[in-house]
Amino acid sequence: MKEPNPEVFADCPVAGVQKIVRGKWNMVIMYFLHQQTLRFGELSRKMPMVTQAQLTKDLRMLESYGLINRKVYPQVPPKVEYSTTAMGEQFMPVLTALERFATVYEAQAN
């Protein structure tokens, strides 16, 4: 998928960060990792509707954006943990605001 030309959205400051929220499960992953550091299997169990391939893809995407950290421990069997970075923590007020909106929206929709 081709990224949009940033000059097209010069007057929209949120256009540059839409890639973060457009990932299929990015916001859910950030929500869980904000609560605690998790291994892949633990995160997968919290999100049973997500395939391992999709979870891997979204974790890599978030890592490439600098929002999560992937720590590999040199042991057998391999141990990998995911946690939010300082930049990821700065995203949390956005997620909290979305959570509040979702709660109000769901209450009014029912």
Residue 1 located in a structural domain: no
82 compared with 75, residue with greater pLDDT: 82
Q: Which amino acid is at 35?
A: Q
Residue 83 located in a structural domain: yes
Rounded to an integer, what distance in angstroms lies between the CA atom of residue 105 and that of residue 110? 9
Residue 21 located in a structural domain: yes
- Please tell me the pTM assigned to this model: 0.81
CATH number assigned to the domain comprising residue 62: 1.10.10.10
What's the first-to-final CA gap in the chain, in angstroms?
36
76 compared with 21, residue with greater pLDDT: 76
Number of domains in the chain: 1
24 compared with 60, residue with greater pLDDT: 60
pLDDT tens-digit readout, 1-58: 455 555 556 678 787 778 777 788 999 999 999 999 999 999 999 999 999 999 999 9
Look at residue 10 in the predicted model and tell me its pLDDT. Answer: 67
Domain extent for 65: 6-109
Residue 94 located in a structural domain: yes
Q: 3-state DSSP: the chain helix, strand, coil percent, rounded to 5?
A: 60, 15, 25
